[in-house]
Structure 1
Amino acid sequence: MIDNKFLSKLSQNLLEILNDDEYYDITIEVGNDPDVKIFRAHMVILNYRSSHLRRILSTNKKKNDGTLAHIKLPNILPEIFQAILRYIYGGSLSIGKYDTSDIIKILIAANELSLQELVEYLQLSLIENNANWMEQNFNLIYQTSFINDSFLELRKYCIDLISKEPGKIFISPNYSLISEKILISLIQNKNLQMSEVQVWKNVLKWGHAQNPELSSDPASLSKDDFNVLKNTLQHCIPFIRFYNLTSKEISDTVIPYRDILPEELYVDVLRTLLNLHPDSMSIIKSKPRKSINVDSNIITFKHAELISRWIDKLSITDKLTSSYEFKLILRGTRDGFAPSKFHEICDGKSCTVSIIKVKNSNEILGGYNPIECIEKHILSHVKNEQFAVFNLRDCGPLFGEYGDDLTIKGLDKSYSNKRSYKKRIRKIEDRFFAKEYEVFQIMKKG
């Protein structure tokens, strides 16, 4: 008889063995002074659970005089090893009680101990549940992903983020910590949703962050200071599309930093300022960066383009005929999920789109258009316009008659049924938890 219900009892008993002061036959010294702790364990369990510990134990066997075997793990923090040791014995890890930074430490320690099953699980858990934190601490995640080839899932996540959503890295609070290599990848990225002047300002911001002793006011910089900044940014500047800057942007943001530009490039910048065609190829002449810029924890510019097509009643493959600005006016994790907050912020505002990320799912629901993944969009217009939007004070956004098609009511009371729209908004007619929730005001650009 095979039944997983017995595994929990086995796990409990093994953890009881770990906590028992008798029968242990090895001590493990973990950490470095002054943060050192001695753990008691059992060689037979360590031997079969960790190939790394098996190799260490092969040269640290129990002595005939009764002295216990003793090993040292100086590279792991005691509190991190405590979590891993419980996993080794009990086969489970309650990662919900750990900060994301500690989960990263557990991941690195698990890799050192050759706990491949745990390494794979932690990577997938981080990507699924801690994406916002990783975007804000991208440099740490990027560097960690290249520590060892066991972190391929994290590495793929980093490469995908640089490739598909580079703008998120620019706006992260720890943006200035990224390496020059990552910065150049961002500047070169064709998917970067940012005006050229903002790219230039971010490059300058990064350059100043690498040299904190320099004043942020270019008027206060000496010739030597400019040379320091020039050397820092010499590999980044060639990828700035100065040709796409307006005369005012050049005057306000480039001319004050003229001393960090190569002479030939500066001459061409001046020609651009005077509306003269540059003679040389020192200025990159390429198309302006994409115009849809969306500040979102849920959707990317690709989703924004899809919503823009829906607003214009175009098909997914039609070329966009209008350009829209997505102005974030409400975010659940920032402003709260209470219906009262929705009405406080959003009542009286027209042309809004509500976006909801369903917890423990790839689903993104939004007003009229739930999106499960980039290839499978359900874009639905209302059958009866009088039931397009409903309004109740104790609920957030409602769509359809009495909100049946989509109701957002706090974190755990949202639901979706088919009633007033041509297509079913969600395949599953059941309540769902909202992981994140955002409302944008959509404004057509001139």
Structure 2
Amino acid sequence: DEYYDITIEVGTDPYVRVFRAHMVILYYRSPYLRRILSTNKKKDDETLSHIKLSNISPEIFEIILRYIYGGKISLNDYDNSDIIKVLVAANELNLQELVIYLQSFLIKNKKTWMEENFNFVYKTSFENNSFSELQNYCTGLITEEPDKIFKSPDFTSIPENLLISIVQNDNLKTSEVHIWENVLKWGFAQNPELPSEIANFSNDDLNTLKNTLKQCIPFIRLYDLTSKEFVDKVFPYREILPEGLCAYLLETFLTLSNPESRGVERNDRGRNDKVEDKDDTKWRNFRDRRSEERYDNHHNSMRKYDIRPSSESKAENSNNIRTLTTNTYTSLPMRKKLELKPRSSAAPNENVASRPSKPNPFGEAKPIDTDEAFRRVEERRRKQKKRN
């Protein structure tokens, strides 16, 4: 305390403590405090400079102040939760060398504790981009063991952006239907007033759940479900899907003769599922493509899916690939929402010569009769119940 020339008020009432320090040390050790001190210089009347740090607890600041003066910190003397708090405070004071050291220490020495308190560590790691090492550790752990987060008691309290980052993970080792179920669980938890059964939903309830999940659903590969999974798990919630998506999925799954077959052959998310049914071979051309939807902010609805042969396909595959012209499927390490542009009204003869001349093996695209499709699904469900 000798020759101190600044006081630091730390904490909030009733837990406030005043520390004495030396401006020159704080100035050179902390870029954050340097900015404050540069605008809060000692007055001519010899009055001490005074700053406030209300976002840090006195106990945590004392640990950091000792580090600022001595350049060392003994983490074995502190609880693991306090180390996380020191990490957050060090980042606020822009002590980047301490931030890097604390992350490495936690990953090397506190793995068991971090797994036991995974939700807390995961949320903390994504509060700031400076915690990149912790973010990578948490993402890797979720990839290998998704239930670390899905079965966490605090899973439903994670913010929407973290949920989306989980669903976007291409290497997540779990089934797509498991992802759908957990996204639904999260959506229900955000609206506890909703009925527990979809059969009891009103139109307002459907809109509430739809608006809650509208940013997440486009990242779920619903076309990667089996037809049975779609009928049992997704179809009852068809009203919350983006407009046009349910009809497209119905057309996909109703063409499969085996209810255990998937709409698209995939080998992502840690699975090795293969589509073996001969009737499903046409879907193999969709491999490693993405289905994304965008909500039209002007009309509050999505543009209809228009299924036709793609004029942008490679020549050797032009008669084997069927795409959605209002969607662009792209192979990406991480799936991203893709911007959908309105279909332009071309002149009658424009681009006619560029269209594939070979016949489309899928036949001409026809409008989907959704009423008939719904009827066929309900009929299939009744038959399944009778067999069971």
TM range (shorter): 0.5 to 0.7
- Cα 1:112–1:190 change in 2 (3 A) is closer
Match of 1:137 among 109, 120, 123: 120
Match of 1:94 among 69, 74, 77: 74
1:199, 1:184 → 2: CA distance?
11
Q: Judge conservation of contact 1:80–1:105 (CA < 8 Å) in 2.
A: yes
Q: Judge conservation of contact 2:144–2:173 (CA < 8 Å) in 1.
A: no
1:212 and 2:195 equivalent? no
2:15, 2:219 → 1: CA distance?
47
Letter in 2 for 1:42: H
1:368-387 equivalence runs, <5 A? none
1:268, 1:66 → 2: CA distance?
76
1:192, 1:118 → 2: CA distance?
32
Q: Judge conservation of contact 2:226–2:263 (CA < 8 Å) in 1.
A: no
1:303-342 equivalence runs, <5 A? none
Letter in 2 for 1:145: N
Cα displacement (A) at 1:247 = 4.9
More strand by share: 1
Letter in 1 for 2:56: I
Cα displacement (A) at 1:77 = 2.1
Aligned to 1:56: 36
Letter in 2 for 1:144: E
| Residues 41-86 of structure 1 deviation map (CA, whole Å, 9 limit, x = unaligned) | 2334434433433443445455565543322223322222121112
Cα displacement (A) at 1:231 = 1.9
2:120, 2:240 → 1: CA distance?
29
Q: Judge conservation of contact 1:165–1:191 (CA < 8 Å) in 2.
A: no
| Residues 171-205 of structure 1 deviation map (CA, whole Å, 9 limit, x = unaligned) | 44333344444434433433222122212101111
Aligned to 1:194: 174
| Residues 380-403 of structure 1 deviation map (CA, whole Å, 9 limit, x = unaligned) | xxxxxxxxxxxxxxxxxxxxxxxx
Letter in 2 for 1:287: R
Match of 2:98 among 109, 118, 143: 118
1:167-206 equivalence runs, <5 A? 168-206=148-186
Matched residues, percent identical? 60
Q: Judge conservation of contact 1:139–1:177 (CA < 8 Å) in 2.
A: no
- Cα 1:138–1:47 change in 2 (3 A) is closer
1:231, 1:257 → 2: CA distance?
13
- Cα 1:112–1:175 change in 2 (3 A) is same
Cα displacement (A) at 1:255 = 3.0
Letter in 2 for 1:213: E
Q: Judge conservation of contact 1:167–1:193 (CA < 8 Å) in 2.
A: no
Match of 1:285 among 258, 264, 286: 264
Letter in 2 for 1:27: T
1:228 and 2:208 equivalent? yes
1:63-102 equivalence runs, <5 A? 67-102=47-82
- Cα 1:117–1:203 change in 2 (3 A) is same
Aligned to 1:46: 26
- Cα 1:97–1:156 change in 2 (3 A) is same
Aligned to 1:364: none
Aligned to 1:401: none
- Cα 1:165–1:221 change in 2 (3 A) is same
Q: Judge conservation of contact 1:100–1:133 (CA < 8 Å) in 2.
A: no
1:52, 1:185 → 2: CA distance?
30
Q: Judge conservation of contact 1:32–1:74 (CA < 8 Å) in 2.
A: yes
Cα displacement (A) at 1:99 = 4.2
Match of 1:238 among 210, 218, 222: 218
Q: Judge conservation of contact 1:241–1:284 (CA < 8 Å) in 2.
A: no
SS class of match (1:29): strand
2:263, 2:125 → 1: CA distance?
28
SS class of match (1:89): helix
SS class of match (1:30): strand
Letter in 1 for 2:70: G
- Cα 1:116–1:67 change in 2 (3 A) is same
| Structure 2 unaligned residues grouped into runs of 5+ | 273-388
Q: Judge conservation of contact 1:45–1:89 (CA < 8 Å) in 2.
A: yes
| Structure 1 unaligned residues grouped into runs of 5+ | 1-17, 278-282, 293-446
- Cα 1:65–1:191 change in 2 (3 A) is closer
- Cα 1:115–1:192 change in 2 (3 A) is closer
1:44, 1:206 → 2: CA distance?
50
2:167, 2:263 → 1: CA distance?
12
Aligned to 2:7: 27
Q: Which runs of 4+ in 1 moved over 6 A?
A: none
1:59, 1:237 → 2: CA distance?
48
1:141, 1:54 → 2: CA distance?
26
SS class of match (1:137): helix
- Cα 1:234–1:117 change in 2 (3 A) is closer
| Residues 254-305 of structure 1 deviation map (CA, whole Å, 9 limit, x = unaligned) | 233122124543345555665647xxxxx9724164348xxxxxxxxxxxxx
SS class of match (1:190): coil
Letter in 2 for 1:109: A
